[in-house]
Structure 1
């Protein structure tokens, strides 16, 4: 049952071919000066996206009379009312971006991220919000909110915008995790169809996440998992009571594709504990109008990334060998990235707003992902804790009990205190690993487990160039720092015209012409002028590492390794 104090949100999807949402927001004002804001970012995706760029035709009404509005900023408006009768705010939003953090509408389906759709009215944030969807004939709506007849009811604005909206002529499938009844929504499908064991495998992986945390999922029966199967793309966005995933069917067809999908499912499912409820204090509550900096994103994403490698193993859907392969890939990213010597893990977290989500090809030389480096730190913590007879999972469960369950935000000192319960030395070491570059004892921790890093050498000599086909020829898109191409004075934007006396028309030709370690005479164009240089490729460069069993590991290392594989 609705109440007169409720804020009503109506989203009109009746003309899906227009790819435009028609929005109406209605409420009873309490003061004559009204202000409202469209959030500039989406929790879980830490960068300013300014969805107001897609907004038009805004109008404000009271008693069917239009009231003049003033735009205070790109995402904020105000209006002065003659009285306190109910008001209506109407506007339209282009919905042409199919990502997990934006809004999309076409004649087949709708996928809406409400933080990019609904205005936050000053003074109404903690009032109940009621959502109504106007849908084309034959469509169904799917929203992880309780329903009252045709309305979806949220406790407040935050719960509303944390509830993704999907609609179309499709059905959902039930799945059960630790006695909780969830909903699986599949949008699109691979050309060969979904695996017969999909629901069973998802139940197992999500069940492993609940087992890791030692309790039933906090979302209860409300969890809604959405998987959009596309021709390209990859990603996920967590919510309190669900997650939206995108996966490409060509990637699914790869030998490791289905395993990767299950890891993504596990990653986002685990987020309902870590980051959605066990949350850095800077994000309690969220400030939807500004970019909020935190140095704890490494814990939110890095810890989750470390555990998602193991969830298929815990679920009985993978092997120890596969787990080591995946760990090796993540550790390779850290060990071989030049950015790890430039940006600390704490800075990677703090600079997410301007670096990670706005990464350029050249910027990869000066930054490191807090997902990958955070997972490497999690690995080191876990090994050191294992040697003491406990585990990283236990520390996370402790933090969950002290902070996540009661809605308290945590900071670095709280993580240190949780570690100090088991090891003061490890708690004291954490700031060094976070604030100083290149300090993680990755190889030492592998040695503790009776594991070794095995370098895999590149099959061709290395130049440090990343190239792309361009209408005018072959363009340089990246030059690795301190690489042969760097020392040859090549820069991003140069056009490679000829190599070793042969005209170059495509990247495929470059691959043929660069074979061998002999010096390469290169003619390139820069700002319309032809220049010459010489690149001397570097042979025998390590392109990745694999993690292997050490056949000579002592008995105590093998025992510790077996305990570590249990993850819990």
Structure 2
């Protein structure tokens, strides 16, 4: 194939043996310098974890003409090449595609999903040139991508950033097409066994997308077309935002329930809103992206927390769920926050900055030392919204201002910019917002919710508190987590211990264990710790709430009722 002088890299993917969960990559490019680096990204935007994609790469070789080139390992994910400039180079390598998610590569005999960050080597010095990919596919396989089609199974991007921003879904699809403000949208899915609720999606999806646009005060999204790629599987949940598309994964079993259907709509709203909040209203640290190293930024709480706050309320505003559904979902999130001991250890700002080493590396101790910036972030967004509503404004107005100043202008923002803009709506936010971000004390949710006529009520749990979270593992009852500073911690109980007996009676169920705990009573436990049978003495404390609920206070003045309607329905 003849190259033009300024043609960028061209990747050829051989996917004919997809059932082996391997594929071959041939990269062709014209070098512009004598010494250059080839590097596989270590992360993909929207997922803040160094994923070591290079661990799935094997057998890399390079040729210039008929001359083999020596590839010198520069780092775990990069190689150095000595070449003759302006003469075509061919690099070949093979990749495993064995991880089914929206952030990685996956192939089997039926379908595939490829994330460019996990397979496309970046050629040093050619980031801003056009990039192309040509696919050699199994018979009858289709391709769904937001890349520009320029020939049969060949697609292009204007630069490496857009290339990484456009995953490839492969296999056999079903598709639904609709418009929002004249912009074409494609809803492409695979993996469903049961009949898809097409008639339901046909009217729900446009309404939901328009609801997101309305939040930003626009009639249409900031793109010429938008693509939803959704893979239904046995168990799974997640999404990854891109500039003009999103990749979703969802359990086909959850789609059978009304709660699951609502959860899917919330996921759609979340990722769709991201095309504004994070892709275009982008933190300064992400302009431009640094694909070779982690990028720490304290505003991740705004990018994900504000988006998480709106994803469920947008479903309500679109008329796709009831107020009671929304309040029930919000109460669950409040309960989850309040039952996470790590909220007293890690601030929201720290949670944002430590995402790379904590949020995506969960273990049995995670909830004791961290709080999710998604979870606490959405509750700080709730606090901010209710605070602004009380003075006649809203978080929606603040978000629109961020879009006007930073999104449309393509300017990066900082944490201080966020604080400064918030304070233009109310000067008290100069001190309030930093406190919500930097402190580990409880958020004053009850007081803020009362400002819209809502009561936050704890349940009347009567079970004695031990700090033990149990899980059934076949016939075994094992400790899944031990709360920080709890009776269980004092009793030298650990995650992974098996509970064999309580007070000399064999313990066969979680309910039996929990129902036989008494406040201030010394209970003798027989446990298996590290394979050794041992005794422990546990002294439970007074019961603690296990959940909180939200109820509407009807005995409030009209002003508060109106404010509640503005909060819920915009």
TM-score (normalizing by structure 2): 0.95
Q: Tell me if 1:301 matches 2:300.
A: no
In the other structure, the counterpart of 1:88 is 90
Q: Tell me if 1:207 matches 2:236.
A: no
Q: Which moves more between the two structures, 156-165 or 255-264?
A: 255-264
Q: How does 1:94-493 map to 2 (within 5 A)?
A: 94-150=96-152, 151-191=154-194, 193-194=196-197, 196-438=199-441, 440-458=443-461, 460-470=463-473, 473-493=476-496
Q: 5+ residue gaps in structure 1?
A: none
1:470 and 1:382 mapped to 2: Cα distance? 43
1:68 and 1:422 mapped to 2: Cα distance? 60
- Asked whether the equivalents of residues 178 and 210 of structure 1 are also in contact (C-alpha less than 8 Å), the reply is no
- Asked whether the equivalents of residues 237 and 251 of structure 2 are also in contact (C-alpha less than 8 Å), the reply is yes
Q: 1:226 to 1:564 in 2, by over 3 A?
A: same
Q: 1:459 to 1:63 in 2, by over 3 A?
A: farther
Aligned residues: 564
2:70 and 2:303 mapped to 1: Cα distance? 43
2:325 and 2:451 mapped to 1: Cα distance? 20
After TM superposition, which residue ranges in structure 1, 4 or more long, deviate above 6 angstroms? Answer: none
1:463 and 1:195 mapped to 2: Cα distance? 48
Q: Tell me if 1:533 matches 2:517.
A: no
CA shift at 1:3, angstroms?
4.2
CA shift at 1:250, angstroms?
2.3
Q: CA RMSD in A?
A: 1.9
- Asked whether the equivalents of residues 281 and 406 of structure 2 are also in contact (C-alpha less than 8 Å), the reply is yes
Q: 1:2 to 1:550 in 2, by over 3 A?
A: farther
Q: 1:474 to 1:402 in 2, by over 3 A?
A: same
- Asked whether the equivalents of residues 55 and 91 of structure 1 are also in contact (C-alpha less than 8 Å), the reply is yes
Q: Tell me if 1:57 matches 2:59.
A: yes
* Deviation by residue 1:329-365 (Cα, 9 ceiling, x = unmatched): 2222222321111110000000000111112121211
* Deviation by residue 1:384-412 (Cα, 9 ceiling, x = unmatched): 11112111111111111111112111011
- Asked whether the equivalents of residues 58 and 94 of structure 2 are also in contact (C-alpha less than 8 Å), the reply is yes
In the other structure, the counterpart of 2:511 is 511
CA shift at 1:75, angstroms?
0.2
Q: 5+ residue gaps in structure 2?
A: none
Select which of 34, 37, 55 maps to 1:35.
37
* Deviation by residue 1:287-316 (Cα, 9 ceiling, x = unmatched): 000011000000000000111111111111
CA shift at 1:437, angstroms?
1.3
CA shift at 1:317, angstroms?
0.8
Helix, strand or coil: the match of 2:350?
helix
- Asked whether the equivalents of residues 115 and 164 of structure 2 are also in contact (C-alpha less than 8 Å), the reply is yes
- Asked whether the equivalents of residues 298 and 346 of structure 1 are also in contact (C-alpha less than 8 Å), the reply is yes
Q: Which moves more between the two structures, 112-121 or 325-334?
A: 325-334
Q: 1:383 to 1:145 in 2, by over 3 A?
A: same
- Asked whether the equivalents of residues 139 and 170 of structure 1 are also in contact (C-alpha less than 8 Å), the reply is no
Q: 1:278 to 1:302 in 2, by over 3 A?
A: same
In the other structure, the counterpart of 2:79 is 77
* Deviation by residue 1:21-67 (Cα, 9 ceiling, x = unmatched): 21111110111112111000111000110100000010011103211
2:343 and 2:177 mapped to 1: Cα distance? 43
CA shift at 1:222, angstroms?
2.4
In the other structure, the counterpart of 2:10 is 8
